[in-house]
Structure 1
């Protein structure tokens, strides 16, 4: 039988996250001991009593971290055959500060960034710069359609792209789970040209012939991403950074799909992360302001 610590390690959590989770479960076990309760057989009612206990000294955000740890602990117990249900699933304490995103890009604005990114008119006489421009457009597509972050790009390999099925596999990272996302038809065309014609040029130029989808001669993908984002801002001043574009993509997804599907598409390990992107209340407030206090 593997212990809870090993279970968390296999989920690729950071050392700090693992220690926090183990600490929170130790707190639960201490409380269970005072109540003469077996933590492995904790009931939903007992869990609510424990949360009530936590409320006396903790803020909602901290309590939700405890719940998140208990949810993982229950999953671990289920895998080891000690439980059949997860009593902490979808449980959340209200009152936690909600993310508010400003000046998010609409789906049309995101798509405009892709189509606005020039490749043919740049450095016509320099084959390498033209190749990097074509690579950068592929990167832009993965930013605005799949909501990738810098660390996602670093881990991508050629085999992760399935041109025949029109999908791309995004490996898990320290914070996010793996996912497989659909590519837009026009992305498939760009990726095919990039993999077959453009990528070899870049590989030869920088002397890197590994399996990475985006060959680098530096450990930091930011050296590629920074100038791309700078250029995108010239097309739309609302663009701020990689995180802002990803937030725009996720919020737009929430307007099209159910929250569980968006959780999977975004690679969120737990539903609370996806819920933090919900903008329903903010949109309702804007609608009320426009209805009762029009500016014009």
Structure 2
């Protein structure tokens, strides 16, 4: 059996704020359910149904269920249990409700994606540019493959993103450290890689415009950095938007513009539940 405490177990994957939030929900769950260690699926469903009756806001219910799931993850890891009673239990949320921000990546975690080197310098620079667009500008894979060289204005330090069916066009600022990288790629590396006539910014090692599946393939080897999380271009973008709101404390309206969202409600889904407010709600609806 593992000698790790559940709190130490959580700290392996989550920030202190998330761990504190999870521990509060777990301790509350255990106080109300002293036999929880032997609970089956139906017992947890009943508990979540009680919460649902008292607290209709899915944002809070998602956090509580996520914490309970981690409790049973810990029991399985510690060999107290062989099975996980609620691994497949999920909260139904509609498009206007919260994103499960606790499963996303912090800015520090996203930075780790840039530490992996490629043995080929050309690909290393190209991959760096691509990752930069994902973790600093929060672009979608589709937006990246549609970028042209002309969309990058190195003199102004800006990049222009075309509109799509779901997202607005926008003009995003490049960080100072990105300008040198992008300049090297556009002026030195990309011309060496080019094998056909194309204006597309990001090209493959064969010199052709990159496709969405190639972006996913480039991310695939990086998944080993986060074995317990779902790393892909979509979750990277979601993490960036979440961090703009919750780490950098940018205004909702500003983040809406940066993300290209057509409606503020879409951006609002990324706001994290305030830990203190969450505790007050749990105590109010489920006093011990």
CA distance in 2, matches of 1:182, 1:283: 35
Aligned-pair distance for 1:224?
2.3
Q: How does 1:1-296 map to 2 (within 5 A)?
A: 96-114=96-114, 116-119=115-118, 122-123=119-120, 130-203=121-194, 207-215=195-203, 221-237=211-227, 238-255=229-246, 256-281=249-274, 284-285=277-278
Within 2, Cα distance between the matches of 1:101 and 1:245?
12
- Whole-Å separation in 1 of the counterparts to 2:216 and 2:95: 36
**2: CA distance, partners of 1:241 / 1:117:** 16
TM-score by length of 1: 0.56
Distance 1:283 1:241, change over 3 A: farther
Give 1:279 shift: 1.7
The question of whether the paired residues in 1 share the 8 Å contact of 2:253 and 2:264 is answered with yes
**Contact 2:149–2:199 (Cα < 8 Å) also in 1:** yes
SS at match of 1:146: coil
What's the C-alpha RMSD, in Å, of the aligned pairs?
2.9
* CA distance in structure 1 between the aligned counterparts of 2:135 and 2:126, rounded to whole angstroms: 15
Give yes or no for contact 2:96–2:265 (8 Å, CA) kept in 1.
Answer: no
Separation of aligned partners in 2, 1:153 and 1:283: 39
**Superposition misfits of 4+ residues, deviation over 6 angstroms:** 217-220, 286-289
8 Å contact from structure 1 (residues 166, 183) kept in 2? yes
Unmatched segments (≥5 aa) in structure 1: 1-93, 124-129, 290-296
Structure scoring higher RCO (CA < 8 A, sep ≥ 6) equals 2
Instruction: Tell me how far 1:186 sits from its aligned partner.
Output: 1.8
How many pairs are equivalent? 185
Structure 1 residue 98, shift from structure 2 partner:
2.8
The 1:95–1:146 alpha-carbon spacing in structure 2 relative to 1, beyond 3 Å, is: closer
Q: 8 Å contact 1:151–1:173 — kept in the other structure?
A: no
* Cα distance per residue 1:251-277 (max 9 Å; x no partner): 111122100000000000111111121
- Report SS of the residue matched to 1:268: coil
Q: Deviations over 1:56-79 (max 9, x none)?
A: xxxxxxxxxxxxxxxxxxxxxxxx
Structure 2: segments with no counterpart, 5+ residues: 1-93, 283-288
Partner Cα distance (2:104, 2:280) in 1: 16
Pairwise CA distance, 1:97: 3.6
Larger C-alpha radius of gyration, 1 or 2?
Answer: 1
Task: Report the CA distance shift for 1:272/1:132 in structure 2 as closer, same or farther (over 3 A).
Answer: same
TM-score scaled to structure 2, two decimals?
0.57
After TM superposition, give the deviation of residue 102 of structure 1 in Å: 3.6
Change (3 A) 1:229 1:286: farther
1:180 aligns to what SS in structure 2?
Answer: strand
